[in-house]
Amino acid sequence: MLVRYLPILILAFIWEGVTRFWAVPDYLLPSLSSIFGAFIELAADDLWFHLSRSISRGGIALGSAIVIGITLGVLMAQIRSVRILFKPFVQLFYPMPKSALIPIAIVWFGLGDVSKVVLIFIGSLLPIVVSSFNSARGVDEVLVWSARGLGANNREVLWEVILPAALPEILAGVRVALAISFILMVSAELIIGNDGIGFVISSLGETGYYQGMWVGIIVISAVGFFADRLYVLGMRRILVWQESGA
């Protein structure tokens, strides 16, 4: 464990050493120890409030994107009329960079929570729809035929055959959506800030409290890292029955 993370420790020492030895000005790069001091200070202040705002917005948006995205993707794969109606829609919106919607979101939903939640929701929805659609479409026909031959009805085929077979790819799509939701969350908070970690980063940076700005950057990076780790652990758990593993 320690050997594995040794390079990070080495980088941290170089960071601390260089900033102290050459007295690098704070705005270029504050020393790690002073950032830690700022962390203690901000942790006693409102850091956790801003973090909880960011996480709850991201959680609500991503959660609803997962539910609606998987449903829509699988329905598109299973039902021909749904596919014909929605596929061009998805094809049109999938390649669109969702950050382009930030100015519209401000106009429509104001500067509060709604605009950010809607933005994160739309951004993470499409990768989930596309991966669910592709994987449910790609399920081996032989599996479906054998299930039918054994007397399974439509509902059983969906729940017992198609969803389990498509699950690994769906979960991979959700992981991409998780990363995108963090990008959009921080971007939206940087641009339309009144709370959240992105707001902490931009507002403290503007007022010249660079240690505090770095606290925001490191905290949101740590949250992104642990969210992804937790997700991967959960994914392995769910996919434990798979021969190849996750």
Partner 1 sequence: MSRTVAARADDLFQIIGPYFLIGLLLITWEMTARAKLIDPFLLPVFTDVLWRIITDLISGELARGIFFTMARTVISFAIASVVGIAIGVGISRIRFLKWFMDPIVFIGLPMPKIALLPVFMIWFGLFDSSKIAMTAFSASFQIIVTVWMGADSVQKELIWSARSLGAKPHLIPLEIIIPATLPRILTALQIALPICLIVELVTEFVMGGTGLGAIMLQASRNADSLGVFAGIFEIGLLGILLIRTLEIVRRRLLVWHQEESKPE
What residues make contact with partner 1 under the rule CB under 8 A? 4-8, 11, 27-28, 81, 84-89, 92-93, 95-104, 106-108, 123, 176, 178-180, 182-187, 190-191, 197-198, 201-202, 205, 213-214, 216-217, 220-221, 224-225, 227-229
Residue 97 vs 149, nearer CB to partner 1 = 97
Write down the least CB distance from residue 201 to partner 1, Å. 6
Structure tokens at 82: 């749904």
Write down the least CB distance from residue 126 to partner 1, Å. 10
Write down the least CB distance from residue 95 to partner 1, Å. 4
Could you give the CA distance from residue 173 to residue 231 in angstroms, rounded to a whole number?
12
Residue 132 vs 202, nearer CB to partner 1 = 202
Could you give the CA distance from residue 224 to residue 171 in angstroms, rounded to a whole number?
17
Residue 48 vs 159, nearer CB to partner 1 = 48
Could you give the CA distance from residue 235 to residue 70 in angstroms, rounded to a whole number?
16
State in Å, rounded, how far the first CA of the chain is from the last one.
Answer: 22
Write down the least CB distance from residue 172 to partner 1, Å. 11
Cα–Cα distances (Å) from 175 to 50, 56, 84, 149, 169, in that order, read 24, 18, 27, 35, 10
Could you give the CA distance from residue 186 to residue 182 in angstroms, rounded to a whole number?
6
Give yes or no for a contact between 187 and 179, defined as CB atoms under 8 angstroms apart: no
Measured in whole angstroms, the distance separating CA 167 from the mean position of its chain's CA atoms is 18
Residue 159 vs 242, nearer CB to partner 1 = 242
Residue 82 vs 239, nearer CB to partner 1 = 82
- The torsion defined by the Cα of 202, 207, 213 and 216, in degrees rounded to 10, comes to -60
Residue 183 vs 235, nearer CB to partner 1 = 183
Write down the least CB distance from residue 78 to partner 1, Å. 16
Write down the least CB distance from residue 230 to partner 1, Å. 10
Could you give the CA distance from residue 8 to residue 86 in angstroms, rounded to a whole number?
46
